[in-house]
A and B are shown apart, each in its own frame.
Chain A
């Protein structure tokens, strides 16, 4: 209770001893004592005007009896607004009469504080179990990692063994199969030669119009396919050319010398049904560019096309556009293979070898899959272990869970350490708002916020992202979702993992920034 100038806290009262002069606190300048709080700034540090607005960077101290003392910017002193609960910042009194409501807000503040402590206490209890769970999950995962690594070793060894066995079984299998297939090939060749001869003989008979068992020039003239220069008639020379300069040829000569040269061009009238023309399977129609309709560009309309369902419209447009891509001319179905004679089944001996090899292959594949499965699991576990679940792993148990809330239009979903999304309340597809990125709290309090990023892209804007602001709660609850900036979302999420030990909180609403 010493007398001190307006706006000065007790802790600073010693600087302001009434007397002839006053020494500015930091710059050491000396001024008459009556210059203190005379509404003119003399000291560079502002210390001569603790209770006026004359020094812009000064702080005004309100005692706020019944609540807690605080400093306000001296520019808020005597500006017509009651900033301190005791009203001491409005000294002029012309513009405004401030009420002292420190008792009231002090009480409320204490109540709030008690509620907060209660919440933290309750939440912290849960958090302890989360820590335990998180840590045991860590242990579990680490243990599992060791375990699975050894499993992987086992499977890899097994795989190596089985691969050898497989190779062993496959060698005789291959030999037997090849033998069988080669025999079949030879059989096919024979059949083909016979068929070729039949065709040739039929052609011979057909050309040999007078049935004298010789093909002669004048008989050749009747077959327009021998018209080499395409002048419409088969000339004597042309016929002779095909007859290999002979006047006439008997059956053997025909088969040996002439048929090989004409078989590609000879067109049987009789057997035209049998002779397959080689069709070109290539489509003659050029592949057309899918016609892209000009998108209605965002010109003047753009400004007008906005709104909550705008993105969805855009996306639909995009999809339509993509669909049109698929609308390209479909190629004609492949021409059916001419059914060949079927290869006869393997003999019993060969089949046995095949069965044995097949079994070895299956066993090998099983082992291989197991190796891959264990590799995948190792990756998953490693990924989990790479995530920062908080200093005490208190967030570890949140992974794998999802939390939802619904507002006027959307249901928002948060799957911690995984992803965030929204979907329209009235149905419709889910939009990704982002995937787990990193902790994004301030340097001093890194675990106060999470960032989910690289969600679905916004038209002419960024990829969607979410900042999740965490607060202490007795249970996990997605409290609210908003979009403060286009496509940059904010979730508020309550979780026991964010609660702090109430022991560190214990109330002492003491003035903590008591300095100039």
Chain B
């Protein structure tokens, strides 16, 4: 990366001001007289004693164990930006009754079920407790700093300023009136960069002056915090004592560096703190540039004077302190009180929503390259996959498919008959993705541009003219996606009648939506460009990219009359993006280090609700050698979003071009993914409800096992699969940590067993992916290889039943038509399989669902079965139609294979082993 393209905290005036703010005592006090109580909320005014500015603080009780704390100026001279409800927040969060329990010493006590907030009046701070245990506190370090909107002071000769300042320091005792006090305070502030800021050759005009906000949030008793993607860093966040703070500011970063807090393409201001007893989180509802400092008394090896007084003298208790600051907007913090990992994910999903069940093909393998040159090229790649019997579902076209980088058009010499090209793919159940970026070429003949221009839909620069910048097509302008009317206009561009050459089998990829502006400051918009309602990009920068892919997804769904689920991939994202799009980790590099870091990056995205995510397999830049590419396929086969991609300058690397041995291994990895699609699909269905990560850190399922809190080189898929991919060159053995004291784990290839709470060194030659199914789980797989996932839709299931130490197991399977919204109308099957006391039964766990399918059960494999049975029978729910089934028992690996139950997947049955 060229680091000097991007600001350090020192180069960002608000970051510098906020970070430097270390008052002896917070000047903010809560004014008791202003207290207003309703059944779900409490209002109270705050006063900054240093400048007499007043604020309104509102505390909301929210359903599912959350508090919301909002703070704004009481009477700002200009409206401060708030993200509209329905954008990051999927709707107005449901409120919950809270009890104002009066005053205890100088603290108000606010109760909500087993939680309470203590609001200290002077100085102002809030401490949150669950069952009398402190879990979070706000402003306990006194870092609250809310810069009020103000009128630009008349310019003074600089010599005057410094004289004044010196004078003040010399005469601190000097008595002054309040009015003067205020003036003094303002002067005391370092005004550099408040009214204008320059970075490299770019000047930010800052017409409204300083407006930043910041507050500290402490997590007493917590050593580990997670979240705030996107950073190319470890999953467990690190102290920022000796680095810049973690930065959230959507940017197009070329060849990004690893293991640092620099901003990348997307931002989710959500952080979790976890320890053996509980999990809590905070959601910082703000779309402006944000920085987060993290310090920890354990990691930083020093005890802070600020350790909360509720620590009761035991300063050995670990504590993580965080400090959040944003360039503008209001303070709007959601306290997610857990107490379990599952609870916090549910809480966050209640706020910003979950990923809608994706169409099945989008969970299969995607083949991308910048670029597939022309129709013949697409045809040849498609044919080669079949020739080498390697499955794929989606082939992608990058920017070269367009006529001069004008999206929604085709380079006609290369793609003369796109419909025909798509049809050749769709007969095999495959799809085509085209890229549609938000920058519009400023060309009079380009109707998307002229239409946007003529309707006044383009973003304006500070002077009110259409903003112009450089991107792929050269001189470009950007629609203002923050305007709902513009989003609707954009969505309509995807109508089949509008987007010539598209068909229902064409889906879309939004890139460069941070947005990337080649000649802009930090390769993005100038901060003073103007959006809808006269807000600046500074106010909402991080949510712009989400509006782009939201509008795109809405267009694709609209295209089918609301009947078909669709697919959009985005590079930029924000809290809530998961409702519309899959996300990839941007332009990574074909090096081992980038393969390795992809795991914590996808874990962090999953923690932040963006479950449908992955990294480019093979790495975007440079040429991975066959070993690296092979290992990357083995890892990528588990990313929820599984796509290979490559830069224009790289050599071709479609899997069939690998050496023969590697082709075989990659084919197996892909087949493994395809065989697991029913499992992934079921997990996505469940996650649409509960918001649980799919590509999951171990601590989510093993919250009390301290040894897993920092593990980010292995992961779970759902609860039932444990994966430890090889991410080092030449490595043929890996150490695998098997979590769960009473667990037993089964190698999915050999059924070899491993006991929980142990680290075992296992062989992992090039053709081996260390993957383990948990004892106690049942996974339904489809083991017949096909050319694409949609060709598998009538194929039979094999149930893999892995028994725990008590000889029990259970699992779920969700089935529907795999592509439409009919499941919302009850067209689905949701089964539960339970094995207990040598009896396996299939139950319908959601009677609301009814669906006719030809899918049936061809085989059941019971692993960990102690000895050869005598007889196996199966019968329907009423015990009728009892049949004897054939079986084979393998003494070596204790696996019992039951021959052809043959029942339809929707049937209720019971299988008894004697």
Contact = CB atoms under 8 A, between A and B. Distances in A.
A95 interface: yes
Contacts of B649: 306, 458-461, 486
B884 to A, nearest CB: 13
Interface string A95-133: 100000000000000000000000000000000000000
Contacts of A38: 900
A94 interface: yes
Contacts of A42: 899
Interface in A480-497: 482-486, 488
Interface in A406-464: 408, 458-462
A460 B589 CA distance: 14
A80 interface: yes
A42 B651 CA distance: 43
Nearest to B648: A306
Given A75-B785, A81-B791, A303-B587, A40 B899 contact: yes
> Of A56, A79, A462, A486, which is in contact with the most chain B CB atoms at under 10 Å from its CB?
A79
Given A80-B791, A484-B652, A56 B854 contact: no
Interface in A63-103: 73, 75-76, 79-81, 92, 94-95
Contact of B427 (A75, A81, A461, A486): A81
B880 interface: no
Decide if the interface of chain B is mainly helix, strand, loop or mixed.
loop
Interface in A306-356: 306
A485 B785 contact: no
B314 interface: no
A54 interface: yes
Interface in B795-836: 795-796
A269 interface: no
A301 B518 contact: yes
Interface in B640-656: 647-652
B493 interface: no
B419 interface: no
Given A75-B389, A75-B785, A482-B373, A302 B254 contact: yes
Nearest to B474: A304
A297 interface: yes
Decide if the interface of chain A is mainly helix, strand, loop or mixed.
loop
A39 interface: yes
B903 to A, nearest CB: 13
A227 to B, nearest CB: 61
A42 B791 CA distance: 23
Given A40-B899, A300-B2, A486 B785 contact: no
Contacts of B791: 79-81
A76 B785 CA distance: 9
Contacts of A3: none
Contacts of A304: 470-472, 518
A481 to B, nearest CB: 12
Interface in B326-352: none
B784 A462 contact: no
Contacts of B470: 304
B787 A79 contact: yes
Nearest to B428: A81
> Of A38, A303, A408, A461, which is in contact with the most chain B CB atoms at under 10 Å from its CB?
A303
Contacts of A75: 389, 784-787
> Of A81, A300, A304, which is in contact with the most chain B CB atoms at under 10 Å from its CB?
A300
Given A56-B785, A304-B472, A299 B254 contact: yes
B890 interface: no
A297 B648 contact: no
Contact of B648 (A81, A300, A484, A486): A486
A53 interface: yes
A306 B787 CA distance: 34
B373 A488 contact: no
A54 B647 CA distance: 39
A488 B587 CA distance: 23
A40 B651 contact: no
Contacts of B413: 408
B858 interface: yes
Nearest to B516: A300
A75 to B, nearest CB: 5
Contacts of A81: 427-428, 787, 791
Given A80-B429, A80-B791, A303 B651 contact: no
B377 interface: yes
B783 interface: yes
Q: How large is the interface on A (under 10, 10 to 19, 20 to 34, 35 or more residues)?
A: 35 or more
Contact of B900 (A40, A73, A297): A40
> Of B413, B472, B651, B784, which is in contact with the most chain A CB atoms at under 10 Å from its CB?
B784
Contact of B389 (A53, A73, A299): A73
A304 B794 CA distance: 45
Interface in B460-509: 470-472
A56 B389 CA distance: 11
A39 B5 CA distance: 62
A255 B203 CA distance: 83
> Of A38, A42, A80, which is in contact with the most chain B CB atoms at under 10 Å from its CB?
A80
A485 B786 CA distance: 28
B373 A484 contact: yes
A485 B428 CA distance: 26
> Of A53, A75, A459, A482, which is in contact with the most chain B CB atoms at under 10 Å from its CB?
A75
B472 A299 contact: no
B859 interface: yes
B276 to A, nearest CB: 44
Contacts of B784: 53-54, 56, 75
Contacts of A39: 796, 858, 900
Nearest to A95: B794
Contacts of B472: 304
Contact of B859 (A40, A92, A94, A483): A40
A311 to B, nearest CB: 11
Interface in B616-665: 647-652
B323 to A, nearest CB: 30
B225 interface: no
Contacts of B5: 299-300
Interface in A122-147: none
A140 B780 CA distance: 74
A302 B652 CA distance: 20
A4 B792 CA distance: 28
Interface in B837-860: 854, 858-859
Contacts of B648: 306, 486
A486 B254 contact: no
Contacts of B859: 40
A112 to B, nearest CB: 18
Contact of A485 (B516, B652, B787, B794): B652
A95 B858 CA distance: 20
Interface in B89-115: none
Given A56-B784, A73-B389, A488 B651 contact: yes
Interface of B: 2, 5, 252, 254, 373, 377, 389, 413, 427-429, 470-472, 516, 518, 523, 587, 647-652, 783-787, 791-792, 794-796, 854, 858-859, 899-900
Interface of A: 38-40, 42, 53-54, 56, 73, 75-76, 79-81, 92, 94-95, 297, 299-304, 306, 408, 458-462, 482-486, 488
List 8 tightest A-B contacts by C-beta distance, closest first. Answer: A485-B652, A299-B2, A79-B791, A40-B900, A300-B254, A75-B785, A485-B651, A300-B523
27 contacts: A40-B858, A40-B900, A42-B899, A54-B858, A56-B784, A75-B389, A75-B787, A76-B786, A80-B791, A81-B427, A81-B787, A94-B794, A95-B794, A299-B2, A300-B516, A304-B470, A304-B518, A306-B648, A408-B413, A462-B651, A482-B373, A484-B373, A484-B377, A485-B651, A486-B648, A486-B649, A488-B651
Given A81-B787, A81-B791, 14 more contacts: A39-B858, A40-B859, A56-B784, A75-B784, A76-B786, A76-B787, A79-B787, A94-B794, A306-B648, A459-B649, A484-B373, A485-B650, A485-B651, A488-B652
